[in-house]
Amino acid sequence: MKIGILGATGAVGRQMMECLIEQNIKVDELRLMASHRSVGKEFEFKGKTLKVIEAKEDSFEGLDVVLGAAGGKSSKYFAPFIKKAGAVFIDNSSAFRLCDDVPLIVPEINGADAKNHNGIIANPNCSTIIAFMALYGINKKSNLTKMIVSTYQAVSGAGIEGVAELQNQVEAISGGKNIETNIFAHQIAYNCIPSIGAYLDDGYTDEEMKMQNEGRKIMHLPDLDVTCTCVRVPVIRSHSISISFATEKPLTIEEIKEAISNSKGVKLMDDGANNIYPMPISTSDNDIIEVGRIREDKVIGGYSLFCSGDQIRKGAASNTVAIIKCL
């Protein structure tokens, strides 16, 4: 199989290279593409040194699959050329997620949908993937009807620059120096910022609406109602999510735990008395979604849980690579 990575030099693109090896994807050729600024950069892949080439309209000839790790603007521009070259474009950006003719795929949940593509397959938002990985086993027992969600999103969700800004601010504060704020609207060191994405007319952000809009499509639940608040926290890697949810028919806590335990890619971590629960630090650099703090929600008449997952891996790179297997 001949595979290209568009946006190969970023955190997600580099992680995709590792995931291709980890998931035993047979790669006869790997073509690394990025903007002109990255041309000539070298990366090791299966014992070979690969050089980055500039992404141009004719860069995709002969490829079977192109993995998108660039932004939405690049994805929209290059998509027609990728399709013209006969490759399947599996894109990690938000550019095509809600298009009717583009499958939105989490392999464990709706992998079969991937075959109904028209040349483009979309990878969901990282928080959406983590949340519904925690919930999909429960949904098999009884359909979800509504969710109240708060996300606690790591600075690496804003890219390598976000990580650097947190680290630089911590060092500056420790050294009694003035901090610099460029990536985030406010100081992120020792702080939480309850604002991710662009604001919409109703006061929600576009990041917050992804949980409902993408969740409905992935889960085949067009009437699912979700209210979400997204918060940036001073954690380097892995997002955490608090979810209260209701289902069509009542379930017992034992049934919910059983559903989570039997869900592929999910680990039950639910023993609070012994300090066992999901945390960003224990989910970093792996593909497992941890789920715990399971209890009845005494307000909405449903249930509550807490989950964590690595947004660079399962929330982006590894999920995108795994979609290849769905084809």
What's the domain count of the chain?
Answer: 2
User: Are 7 and 114 found together in one domain?
Assistant: yes
Q: What is the pLDDT of residue 274?
A: 98
Which tokens in the block code for residue 187?
A: 């100081």
pLDDT band at 128 (very low <50, low <70, confident <90, very high): very high
125 alpha-carbon distance from chain centroid: 5
User: Are 100 and 156 found together in one domain?
Assistant: no
For the beta carbon of residue 257, count every other beta carbon within 10 angstroms: 18
Residue-range definition of the domain harbouring residue 243: 128-311
User: Are 150 and 270 found together in one domain?
Assistant: yes
For residues 244 and 242, what is the distance between their CA atoms, to the nearest angstrom? 7
Task: Tell me the CB-side half-sphere exposure of residue 305, using CA atoms within 13 A.
Answer: 29
Alpha helices in the chain (DSSP H): 11-22, 72-84, 107-110, 126-141, 160-174, 206-219, 253-261, 280-283, 318-326
Q: What is the pLDDT of residue 240?
A: 98
User: Are 271 and 322 found together in one domain?
Assistant: no
User: Are 107 and 146 found together in one domain?
Assistant: no
| 44-83 CB burial, b ≥16 within 10 A, e <16 | eeeeeebebbebeeebbeebbbbbbbbeeebbeebbebbb
User: Are 64 and 138 found together in one domain?
Assistant: no
pLDDT band at 142 (very low <50, low <70, confident <90, very high): very high
User: Are 196 and 154 found together in one domain?
Assistant: yes
Q: What is the pLDDT of residue 2?
A: 98
Q: What is the pLDDT of residue 235?
A: 98
| pLDDT, averaged across the chain | 97
Q: What is the pLDDT of residue 193?
A: 98
Strand pairing report for 302-309 and 120-122: unpaired
Q: Each residue of 80-107: pLDDT tens digit?
A: 999 999 999 999 999 999 999 999 999 9
User: Are 81 and 134 found together in one domain?
Assistant: no
| Cβ neighbours for 176, distance < 8 A, ≥ 6 positions apart | none
Which tokens in the block code for residue 246?
A: 């209701």
CA distances from 321 to 50, 66, 105, 142, 202 (A): 19, 10, 11, 30, 35
User: Are 140 and 75 found together in one domain?
Assistant: no
Q: Each residue of 173-206: pLDDT tens digit?
A: 999 999 999 999 999 999 999 999 999 999 999 9
Q: Each residue of 131-140: pLDDT tens digit?
A: 999 999 999 9
Which tokens in the block code for residue 290?
A: 């941890």
The order of strands in the sheet holding 88-91 is 53-54, 29-34, 2-6, 65-68, 88-91, 120-122
Catalytic residues: 126, 239
Q: Each residue of 5-42: pLDDT tens digit?
A: 999 999 999 999 999 999 999 999 999 999 999 999 99
Q: What is the pLDDT of residue 191?
A: 98
Q: Determine the residue type at 122.
A: A
- 8 A C-beta contact, residue 240 and residue 306: yes
Q: Each residue of 276-297: pLDDT tens digit?
A: 999 999 999 999 999 999 999 9
For residues 238 and 168, what is the distance between their CA atoms, to the nearest angstrom? 19
For residues 229 and 196, what is the distance between their CA atoms, to the nearest angstrom? 9
Burial category of 321 from C-beta neighbours within 10 Å (exposed 0-12, middle 13-18, buried 19 and up) = buried
User: Are 49 and 142 found together in one domain?
Assistant: no
User: Are 137 and 74 found together in one domain?
Assistant: no
For residues 288 and 113, what is the distance between their CA atoms, to the nearest angstrom? 22
CATH code of the domain covering residue 91: 3.40.50.720
User: Are 133 and 281 found together in one domain?
Assistant: yes
pLDDT band at 158 (very low <50, low <70, confident <90, very high): very high
Residue length, the chain? 327
Q: What is the pLDDT of residue 143?
A: 98
